[in-house]
Structure formats: C-alpha cells, structure tokens
Chain A
C-alpha cells in the first residue's frame, strides 16, 4: 500500500495534495469541507489589507468540447478583514491538527508591514507562511505581488525581513512572468526561504469579443490582463519546476502548482522534483471531490510500479532533463504506420506535407481505397504524425538501431563524434512532379 504521507520543509500532511491559495481557500467552511473530503493541506487565500474586487473577474478558454481548459482571473487578494481570516485559520488548525494549513500573505513592501502580518499570522498556529510575490495584475500596480517577484533584489529583501521574525517555515511563491526564474529562486534562497512554490499565474488575455471588441473578462466593455492557469499551463509549470529543481544553488523543497487536474499530472510534477502539489483551478471547475481520484489514482499507480513512498518517485525524471547540446544527434527515430489500425483520415499526410518534411506518400488503390506510407529516406522522426493521428497506437515512433555511437552537439563541435547518416533533404519544387 503506497505511503503518501508528506513532510514538506517540516510541514506534515497526510498526503501531498494541498489546495492552492485562491477562491477555494477563502473561508473556514470551504477549507474544513475540503479536509473532510481528503485534502492534505491548504494555502489560505492571500491575506493582506482587504481589497475591493470588480464584479466580473474570470475568463475561460474552451477547446473543442472541453470547457475551461484554460482559465484566467483579474481577482485580487482577500477582500475579507485580516482578523476574520486569521481567526478562521486558527479555528481550522484547532479542528484539523493533522492537516497542513499555510497562510499566504501580501502586504506593502516595508519591514514594519511584514513584521506585523507575520507575527499576527504565527499566533494562529498555522504551519507555514507563503509569500505571494506573483499576482500579475492589480496588486502589482501597487508595488506588490509580481512587482516584487520579478526583481531578485526585492524578493531577497522582503524574505530577509520576514525571516527576522518568522518561527515557522517560509515558502516563497514565484511568478512565471520573468525571463529566467532561476535568478529569482536563487534570490529567494539568499533571503532565507525555507521552500519555494511555483508557478503563480501567467499574464494573459483570454479572448476578444469580436462584436464589442471587449477583452474577457469584460467589466463594462473593458478588461485588464489577467492571470492564466488551468490545464493549459501545466507544461510551462513543469518546465519551471524542473529548472528550479535542477539549479545547483537551489536545494530547498518545491511545491508544484500549475494545471494539476489528475493523478498523472501530480505524478509528473513529483517526478520533476515537487515535494507537494497545489491545486486550484481543477477544484473551481469540479469541486473538492476530485481529491479522491488524485489519491486513489496515485496510490494505485505507485503500487503497480512498486514505489512505496513519494521519495521513490520524487525527482526521478530530473536526471533525464538535459541541456539540448547534450542530446544524442544519432538517436534515430522513424515513424511507423500500422496499416491494420489506420482509418484513412490522412491527417498525418497533410501535417507532414505542409508542416514538416514531406515524408509520407499517399497511394490511391485500384479498388477505390487508399493508403498512406512513411517515406523512410525522408522521415526525420519528428513525432508530428504520431501527435496528430487520432487512433491510439496506429503511428508509433520506432528506434532504429544503428552502429553509430551517441554524438551530442558538444561532441560534434569538438570533432569527437561521428554523425550518422541524415535523412535526405528534398526540395519540394524538384520533388513535386514525381509525387503526384
């Protein structure tokens, strides 16, 4: 039976699934219900001087029949009095001593303001503090949120102030709206952060109404850029988590955030170094109940693979995240079409012909049927046809064993490696007549 117990920077929770700071962690009632349903921890909706929100605040991106595969918000931090939030956090901790409760904080960038809020928060018995250096709208215009998180020196300074009075772990939440997140991560480490959480939301405009020319979410016909999240952002989050996890100067735990909807998503974050997971958008879409399959699916997978604890999975993919110049230029892949499974939609042909290397040929058959075949001399093994094929297992990328030793770009530049033969290049003007 897989053991999902988690100790994240000294914060214990029965499983690694935490609610991220946001609308689902706004009130005692919500967090208590979530814990009753199985969540291991929760990061409270960011506490600071109460703000005033606009009414219309969320935008959504659908894809085909999939609703809300991307989501954004122009909401601000908590609009509830600080004392109400702190009182409720204390109540949660009293009633759920074994669950992790973390207070997310954002105040103006002065030592006094931070000392005050940290001391008041610690009186609640909370397990940890998360510093919100990520809100990309509204708060950033006031010198808070991502205005701090985009500047290493500000990040470092505020953490130092916090650590002057903090007696519980300090987690720093990073914004992805930067050129290189590792600089911010290192600044956070320098300031004394005990852990990092990433990512916060990505700057976005989800859509433009073509009748009113109003961006969404429309506030009387106008909008502001907002923070993008949901399943759409997972790949960006995975990259940034891996970059921070691999950075030699950052050795503190990482809480992974960004489009986690299923247990597989969670496993991917853990494999790239996450010590806990934070979920918000999927809960806003489907409710707290999703935690049941997060736990059940992850446990069943771990049992099947023989991973007894999360430590057996954490970071296992990191050694495989290489610099591009280290990749093997001689690792030869060729696309293969299983003609028995092929349904003749020809999506692979059109993708390869127009969008890649013209390495598939169409062959009409005498009986009116048709077939598509890989032109092996031209196929570079790019994976595009496999990506577009709508039949599982029909197109597979197969490793072509050759006698050539691995050669990276570094080796090639140094003259120490022998490149294997490359696929033929065809100029389409020459090729076209014979391909009709």
Chain B
C-alpha cells in the first residue's frame, strides 16, 4: 500500500527562495495588470511580486492579505489557470505564465513562519455584527469588520472553523494545519467564535445584533434518485472527503474498484483521493461527454495523471448488490451495462441549504459565499465577505 501520507503530499511544493527571486524578477510588472483584474479579490499582483523581488516580504504578504483574507488557502487551491495565471500577458508571448500562486504562497508562508501580525482591530465602534458560518465568506467579512472596530460574533455548526477549507478541499492542495492557522490569524483580531452552534433562524440574532452576515455554504450532496443508492458502500463525495480530512488516512474506507458519479471539480477530488487512498481502480462515470465535463481542464489532467479512469455517456440507473454495493448499472448508447464496483461515490453537486431561511430585502441582512453564488471558489467567498463588510460598515456608520 505504501506510505499513504506520501500520496497526499503537496502537489505544488513551495518555491525555494532562489526560485522565488528568479520567478519574481520574470514578472513584467504590468500596468492595470490583467492578473489583478482576473482575481475576484483584485489582489495587486504585480505589487506583491515586485516586493518579493525587492526583499520586502512583509510588504508583499500585506498586499495579498489586505485584499484577500484567505490568501494562504487561495495560493494553494485557486483555479489560477482560469484566473490570474490564465490572464498573465506572458501567455500572449507564447511563454509560461508567472507562477503567481506559488509566489503568493512564498509571501504568505512568511506570515505563518514568522508569526507576523499585519493587521490590527480598529477602535471599538460599539456596533455588533453576527456572522453565521465560519467559512471563508464569513471569516473574510469578520476580518474586515474587526479592522473597522466593529464587534463580531461568528456562529459555526461544525466542531472546527474554516468551512470547506477544513472539511472539503483536496488534501494534496490544502491540509487542516494551514487552514486552521489562517483562521486563527483572523480570530486573533478579536473575533468571538461559537463552535458547535447551529443557527436555524435569524430572528433572535436580528434582535441582538446590528447586522447579520449569512455565509452558510450549500447543503448536502443531491441524491441520485435511483434504486439502490442506500446500499452499504454508496457514499456522497462531501462525506467521503470530510472523513479522510479529519481522520488518519488508513481509517477512511475505500473500495478496490471505486466509481465516482459526476464530473465537476468535487468529483475529481473524490476520484483522485480514492486512488491515492489505495483503490486499485478509481473511475468517473458521467452521463454526458468529455467536452461537457464541468471540471477545470487542469483538474481533468490531474485525474488522468493519477491513473483514474473515465466512462463517458454512461447514465447511472441502478446500484446493484446484495446489502452491499456490487455494481452500477448504467445506460449507454449500446444499451444497459453493469460496471462492477465495490464503492460508489456520489458527486453530482450540492443542493441549497434547507435548514435556514434569510430575508432577501432586509437591509440588516447580508449574504455571501456558496449560499449566495450557488457554489464557487474560496476566492469568490472571500471577495463577497470583504464586499459585504464594506457595505455593512457603511450602513452601520449611517446609524
């Protein structure tokens, strides 16, 4: 089986200091840079890269984290191929783009290594804001509200903060240690955090607080709606990934022949991590074709490099087995076929939350992250949290 921990090592290990300096000096330092425009939090990318080149690492980290409170995790998990690196002008010179993600990591790693305190809470305003959900959206909002001096209380249902950063991002991209250190830096600004508390109504919060931000993310994985999906050995992707992120790797059950239904980025995370946990075969089953897959191209490449298989134009109809999963019956152009397997991971997307409702037109209620945008990246959640903090502050300042 080999060393499982090795299978989950960083797929993008950090740059050496020499390499970071070399790469930083390759950046052209564009004006009105396309990379900055492409970034949802509009980090001033040329500025932070220039500061790596001049040896002003503290300044570099500050530029990043000022715009994006989740700069550490974004450096590891952002789909930069379709954001900043994809926009880099060097692509138009037929060259590799600047390694922006790795440079961002180089700068932000300093913050953790040297325990740099870059931000301070503002002078207390006496205004109180409640935040529901301690994921990137909620905590980005919290960070910027604290910098403006407002009192912040965050309510989180799970035992640990961080949202999908802690519970969902692929292990080979981001592990809990960095996710939690990143969260701690924000909490250190004086955020009150209540873990293990589920908010099922905003009413009591609206009585006690001057404003409420809702960042609760999406709900459970959608059901397949096919017979046999409650057989032992069928698991949804979020549950599967959450387990492997919160337990020693060998404690997460994985089959020998795993099928993953779906072809989005979460499906890729599931199929690659099942393989890395030791499945002999790990295969995506998708009802449409290769060109229709919603996952990013580079994620597809990663899964292929990991040796995962892909079955296209195969629509799941029935999970078969006697108490336990033994196969997945699919409809193809050639008719029905049963693919043998001993585990099925369902990754067809999350539904909306049904356990909490929030008013759409109350000026005291703000929303951001997956529950508002339908399911996007960490950087989108961070951007929406930061923007909400600005609007909350403007509203509170008027009263």
A interacts with B? yes
Q: Which of A65, A293, A304 contacts B51 (CB 8 A)?
A: A293
Query: Which of A66, A289, A304 has most chain B Cβ within 10 Å?
Result: A289
- 11 A-B pairs within 8 Å (CB atoms) are namely A65-B26, A66-B25, A263-B54, A263-B56, A264-B55, A293-B59, A297-B51, A300-B59, A301-B56, A304-B58, A392-B21
Q: List residues of chain A with CB within 8 A of the CB of B56.
A: 263, 293, 296-297, 300-301
Nearest chain A residue, comparing its CB with the CB of B54: A262
| Residues in chain A near residue B17, CB distance under 8 A | 392
B29: Cβ under 8 A from any A Cβ: yes
Q: When each residue 6-47 of chain A gets 1 if its CB lies under 8 Å from chain B and 0 otherwise, what string results?
A: 000000000000000000000000000000000000000000
Tell me which of A286, A287, A292, A300 contacts B58 (CB under 8 A): A300
Q: Does A113 contact B (CB under 8 A)?
A: no
User: CA separation between A263 and B56, bound complex, in Å?
Assistant: 9
B47 within 8 A of A: yes
- Could you mark each residue 297-310 of chain A with 1 if its beta carbon is under 8 Å from any beta carbon of chain B, else 0? 10011001000000
A286 neighbours in B (Cβ, 8 Å) = 29
Q: How far is the CB of B222 from chain A (nearest CB, A)?
A: 48
Q: Bound state CA distance, A292 and B62, in angstroms?
A: 13
Q: How far is the CA of A299 from the CA of B371 in the complex (A)?
A: 42
- Is A297 a contact of B54 with CB atoms below 8 Å? yes
Residues of B with C-beta under 8 A to A296:
51, 56, 59
Q: Say yes or no for B18: interface residue by CB 8 A criterion.
A: yes
Q: Does A317 touch B at the CB level, under 8 Å?
A: no
Q: How far is the CA of A300 from the CA of B62 in the complex (A)?
A: 11
Q: Does the CB pair A293–B26 fall under 8 Å?
A: no
> Is B275 on the interface with A (CB-CB < 8 A)?
no
Within 8 A of A (CB), among B2-48: 17-18, 21, 25-26, 29, 31, 47
Q: Give the distance in Å from the alpha carbon of A296 to the alpha carbon of B62 in the complex.
A: 10
Q: Judge whether A219 is part of the interface by a CB distance below 8 angstroms.
A: no
Q: Which residue of B lies closest to A301 (CB)?
A: B56
State whether the Cβ of A371 lies closer than 8 Å to any Cβ in chain B: no
Asked if A391 is at the interface (CB within 8 A of a chain B CB), the reply is yes
Inside 8 A of A304's CB, which chain B residues have their CB? 58
Residues 289-334 (chain B) with a chain A CB within 8 angstroms: none
Query: In the complex, are the beta carbons of A293 and B47 less than 8 A apart?
Result: yes
Tell me how far the C-beta of A413 lies from the nearest C-beta in chain B, rounded to whole angstroms. 42
Docked complex Cα distance between A264 and B21 (Å): 15
Residue B50 is within 8 A (CB to CB) of chain A in the complex: yes
Q: Which of B25, B31, B55 has the most CB of A within 10 A?
A: B55
B26: chain A residues within 8 A (beta carbon): 65
How long is the Cα–Cα vector from A146 to B55 in the complex, in angstroms? 37
10 extra interface residue pairs, beta carbon distance < 8 Å, beyond A293-B56, A296-B56, A297-B54:
A66-B25, A262-B53, A263-B54, A264-B54, A292-B47, A297-B51, A297-B59, A300-B56, A304-B58, A392-B21
Complex Cα distance, B26 from A66, in Å, reads 9
Contact pattern, A 252-265, Cβ under 8 Å of B = 1, otherwise 0: 00000000001110
CA distance A391 to B22 in the complex (A): 11
Write out the residue numbers on chain B whose beta carbons fall within 8 Å of the beta carbon of A293.
47, 50-51, 54, 56, 59
Contact B55 A297 (CB under 8 A): yes
Within 8 A of B (CB), among A291-331: 292-293, 296-297, 300-301, 304
Q: Which chain B residue shows the least CB distance to A390? A: B18
CB distance from B161 to the nearest CB of A (A): 30
Q: How far is the CA of A212 from the CA of B50 in the complex (A)?
A: 38
CB of B334 to closest CB in A, whole Å: 55
| Nearest residue, chain B, Cβ from A392 | B18
Contacts of B51 in A (CB 8 A): 293, 296-297
Contact A287 B31 (CB under 8 A): yes
> Within B42-74, which residues are at the interface with A (CB < 8 Å)?
47, 50-51, 53-56, 58-59
Q: Smallest Cβ distance from B111 to chain A, in angstroms?
A: 13
Which residues from chain B contact A262 at a C-beta distance below 8 Å?
Answer: 53-54
> How far is the CB of B236 from the nearest CB of chain A, in Å?
47
Q: Which of B18, B47, B54 contacts A391 (CB 8 A)?
A: B18
A300 to chain B: which residues have CB within 8 Å?
Answer: 56, 58-59
Residues from chain B with a CB closer than 8 A to the CB of A292 are: 47
- Bound-state Cα–Cα, A262 to B55, Å: 9
Which residues in B have their C-beta under 8 angstroms from that of A65? 26
Task: Name the B residues within 8 Å of A297 (CB-CB).
Answer: 51, 54-56, 59
- In the bound complex, residues from chain A placing their C-beta under 8 Å from that of B59 are 293, 296-297, 300
Cα of A200 to Cα of B220 in the assembled complex, Å: 69
A392 cross-chain contacts in B, Cβ below 8 A: 17-18, 21
- B209 CB → nearest A CB, Å: 34
- The residue on A at minimum CB distance from B55 is A264
A292–B29 Cα gap in the complex (Å)? Answer: 14
Which residues of A (231-281) have their CB < 8 Å from a CB of B?
Answer: 262-264
